[in-house]
Amino acid sequence: MKQGFQYFRANPAGNITGFVVWPVYPGYRKAYQDAIMKQIDPTVEQVGFISPAYEGPPLRLDMTGGEFCANATRAYGLYSATFLEEKGEFNMEVYVSGIDHPVNVIADTNKNTAYIALEAPSAVHEIELDSKKYKAFELQGITHLIVDDREEDKDFVDKALEKLKSEIDAKAYGVMFYNKEKSELIPYVNVTETNTLFRESSCGSGTAALGYYLSQDNDEFKELIKEPNGDLELIVEKDQEGAVKVLIGGPIELSEVKRIQIDISEEVEKEVKEEYQKTLKDEENSEEETDNLF
């Protein structure tokens, strides 16, 4: 099945993100992401879908697995700002997956930068691994574990994800290896819906979680965090009551929007249609059960 649609590529701190500007049935999103990565651009790490919402705001961004991604949100905010008649700095209100309310992005179309303030964690968990305790920060749409006592270790990532999933329910999980002396962060992110695990080039929400982690022992500060393929600016502020506000951001490269075409295999198309029919049947059965209650 050939599919054509409008598409652009964003580079927020090396976290290469493809954007589909076209309504796509949620069941097809994983197939679109795989096709874009294999057929169009192997450097793409994740894909977001910009389309009319079924309800609520006119446009929204949905990541493939329904998770929240701060870097993709920053890029979407800057993209949205390019449609404004004037150039400069704007506070863009955007709607994205993984968060149940509007998100504000400070976008500057002259400097091609975008910053986002992430809300404080809804919970901070203490996770024990290898007889040591680590902090996990539960943000909206994703939970991040901060690891600051060891070098990058893929076996440790697998162990940590198993532990996190057994104790915390989330759409996505991150394991962040932080080196304080180098101001370096190496992020691993697992999205449950798509069953993917990536060593990301950078991670906005993971950097924000690091900000909340560091704020426990620091007052206001600004630091450039070095990540595998780019740097993110981390800003931590505190109000008079001591409430912490964390912003992350920096430059973003946006490509031109162009029309591309991908090929979805008949096998995948069949699987999606079968899943769709199953969803419809489940909804019908649920409605019948509800009707029988009255």
> How is the chain classified by DSSP, letter by letter?
-EEEEEEEEEEETT--EEEEES---GGGHHHHHHHIIIII-TT--EEEEEEE-SSSSSEEEEETTS---HHHHHHHHHHHHTTSSS-SEEEEEE-BTT-SS-EEEEEETTTTEEEEEEPPPSEEEEEEETTEEEEEEEETTEEEEEE-SS---HHHHHHHHHHHHHH---SEEEEEEEETTTTEEEEEEEETTTTEEEE-S--HHHHHHHHHHHTTT--SEEEEEEETTEEEEEEEEE-TT--EEEEEEEEEEEPPPEEEEEE--HHHHHHHHHHHHHHHHHHHHHHHHHHTT-
- 248 domain-assigned: no
What pLDDT is recorded for position 1?
A: 81
pLDDT at 294: 44
**Residues linked to residue 62 through DSSP beta bridges, in sequence order:** 49
**Residue 16's pLDDT is what?**
96
State whether 192 and 177 are in the same domain.
yes
Q: Is position 152 within any domain?
A: yes
Digit-by-digit pLDDT tens for the chain (294 residues) are 889 999 999 999 999 999 999 999 888 899 999 999 999 999 999 999 998 765 555 689 999 999 899 999 999 999 999 999 899 999 999 999 988 889 999 999 999 999 998 889 999 999 999 999 999 999 988 999 999 999 999 999 999 999 999 999 999 999 999 999 999 999 999 999 888 899 999 999 999 999 999 998 777 889 999 999 999 999 999 877 778 899 999 999 999 999 999 998 888 778 877 776 776 666 666 665 555 554
- Count CA atoms within 13 Å of residue 73 on its CB side: 30
State the total domains in the chain.
2
Residues 107 and 135 in one domain: no
The CATH number linked to 50 is 3.10.310.10
In a domain, 38, yes or no: yes
Query: Are 129 and 223 in the same domain?
Result: yes
Instruction: Look up residue 152 and give its two tokens.
Output: 């990058």
164 and 263 part of one domain:
no
**Residue 97 belongs to some domain of the structure:** yes
Q: Is residue 64 part of a domain?
A: yes
Q: 165 with 226, same domain?
A: yes
Residue 10 is which amino acid?
A
Q: Containing domain of residue 67, as a range?
A: 2-117+255-271
70 and 153 inside one domain: no
Domain match, 100 and 128 both: no
| pTM for the structure as a whole | 0.84
Q: Are residues 151 and 205 in the same domain?
A: yes
- Which string of b and e fits 18-50 if b means at least 16 CB within 10 Å? bbbbeebeeebbbbbbbbbbeeeeeebbbbbbb
pLDDT of residue 289: 56
| Statement to judge: residues 99 and 159 lie in one domain | no
Answer yes or no: do 76 and 60 share one domain: yes
* 249 domain-assigned: no
Would 280 be classed as within a structural domain?
Answer: no
Q: Is residue 260 part of a domain?
A: yes
35 and 67 inside one domain: yes
Residues 36 and 89 in one domain: yes
